[in-house]
Amino acid sequence: MRFVVDDDVWRRFPGLRIVLVWAAQIDNRAERPGVARELDRAINTLQTDWSLPNPQSHPHIAAWREAIRSTGFSGKKFPSSIEALTRRVVGGKGLGSINPLVDFYNAVSLTHLVPAGGWDLDTLAADNQAELRLCLAAGGERFRALGADEAVAVERGEAAYVVGDQVVTRHFVWRQSDLGKLTPETRRALLISECLQEVPESIAQEVAGALADGLARHFGVGAQTAVVSESSGDQECPC
């Protein structure tokens, strides 16, 4: 699959870096005690060390509030995925287990306080679709959220990941569609993390390493990584 970022996105979010990590031959059905321990550790560390008045007080999360606002939307109404996760954790609600791959990227997300997500490459590439594009929506594109019966129209200016004519996540990885969701049957996966310019370059590299190393340790698969920026161009994810 080819990963493409529209020029409008780079202009709207200067300094954005997108971490991509992809792998094949994954067994996402088996229990992964190491993933569960890693997620518990990330939750406990965040709860123990948190000293700010609220999640949006953290500079990483505050930057996302401003990034969403810059597209003409409310960062409070459409909180970044890392804000939503952090709010649950520091509020004592914890996180339920979804499946090993999702639990794993949530652990990495909480550890580094950056958004993270993932897609099943086989379902994304169904019907010969071979391009995943990050763009600012023209408005009117259709999106059907996880568990929803009907699709809704995406508003103009939303930062969205699109495959063909379908939006697979809105407001970066704020909300995901059924298309491409990671399930126990997932064998080929693309994991992603978005780092705004306020996040040091070293953290983007650490996140890439943590995702790749974790896939090796917990799932026994080799992974390829890329950190995509305005200067790096499009990225192929051949797996």
pTM: 0.95
Cα 87 from Cα 82, distance rounded (Å): 8
pLDDT band of residue 232 (cuts 50, 70, 90) is confident
Segment 115-156, tens digit of pLDDT: 999 999 999 887 666 899 999 999 999 999 988 888 999 999
Tokens standing for residue 56? 């949006």
Homologous superfamily in CATH for domain 2-232: Phenylalanyl-trna Synthetase, Chain B, domain 3 (3.50.40.10)
Report the C-alpha gap between 51 and 231 in whole angstroms. Answer: 37
pLDDT in tens, 189-205: 999 999 999 999 999 99
C-alpha angle 63-117-2 in degrees, rounded to nearest 5: 105
- Report the b/e string of 112-124 with b at 16+ CB within 10 A: bbbbbbbbbbebb
Q: Is residue 38 pLDDT above 90, yes or no?
A: yes
Model pLDDT for residues 164-195, shown as the tens digit of each residue: 889 999 999 999 999 999 999 999 999 999 99
Amino acid 16: pLDDT: 97
198 CB-near residues (< 8 Å, 6+ apart): 15, 59, 60, 63
The pLDDT of residue 1 is 85
